[in-house]
Amino acid sequence: MKRIALLLSYDGTDYHGFANQVNQKTVAGEINSCLSKIFNQEVYVVCAGRTDAGVHAEFQVVHFDVDESLLKKFFDKSRLLKSLNKMLDDSIGVLEATEVSDSFHARFSAKSRTYNYFIIQEEFYHPMILRYAYPVPQKLDLDEMNLACSYLSGENDFSAFCKSSKLQKSNVRRVNFAAMKKSSLSYDVFEINANAFCHQMVRSIVGLLLEIGTGKRPASELDRILKGKSRTDLTFIAPPHGLHLVHVEYQEELFKTDHKVELF
């Protein structure tokens, strides 16, 4: 068997998340189906981070294994990319493909992931933007929000910000960087980089930050809730459409370019 890594980008609006689910349209389901047709055998992808329903990705990494004989017969980077992009819906793009070692794992080999959450700071906005950003017409206090972000750095138990899952053994994560930035006159963006994320972690943090930014809570609330480890202290979870997976870091660069997209 040979292992292939793919770099994906997708608009998650019309998908029930990344992970394969029975009777649901998912990103993994679409890619698995296309790869299985190309290689004429069952193929399943493993991703760097499973995005929820409605969440987007500008930089998602997956890997899959395929029989070496089929790979020699069919695998050509250009041919594989053309075939996949022709078969897939326009909302999913395969940007690069590369052969990797058997020890590579899209999820477990990743050193960190970076997410951005986009916020529209306008009273009136173009409706198409609502696919990719969340509108907050009230002026946000970025200084207060960044003070709250300072409590996120380091290794912490993020149970208060994680939706419970039987598959999740621990909610301890290491946040390397978290900050609010002014992307443009009309947009603010929350950027966070961590070794990994648990279910709804980023959206839960953003929901609290927006309450802090609009003066409903002080910055110290984030520290209190983080240490309290109780999800009942949260009153708002930011919607999924503003969230984007923008980068996955590995020990060595897998692809020629980071394909960075400047949406706003």
Which of 11, 14, 52, 90 is labelled catalytic? 52
- pLDDT tens profile 116-130: 999 999 877 788 888
- 141 noted as active-site residue: no
Per-residue pLDDT for 90 more than 70?
yes
- pLDDT tens profile 168-194: 678 999 999 999 999 877 899 999 999
Domains of the chain: 2-109 (3.30.70.580), 112-246 (3.30.70.660)
What is the rounded CA–CA span in Å between residue 17 and residue 115?
16
Per-residue pLDDT for 32 more than 70?
yes
Q: Which of the residue ranges 113-117, 170-174, 251-255 would you say has the lowest mean pLDDT?
A: 251-255
As a three-state string, the secondary structure of 74-137 is: HCCHHHHHHHHHHHCCCCEEEEEEEEECCCCCCCCCCCEEEEEEEEECCCCCCHHHHHCCEECC
Per-residue pLDDT for 74 more than 70?
no
What tokens were used for 54? 């409605």
Which positions ≥6 away from 218 have C-beta within 8 Å? 144, 212
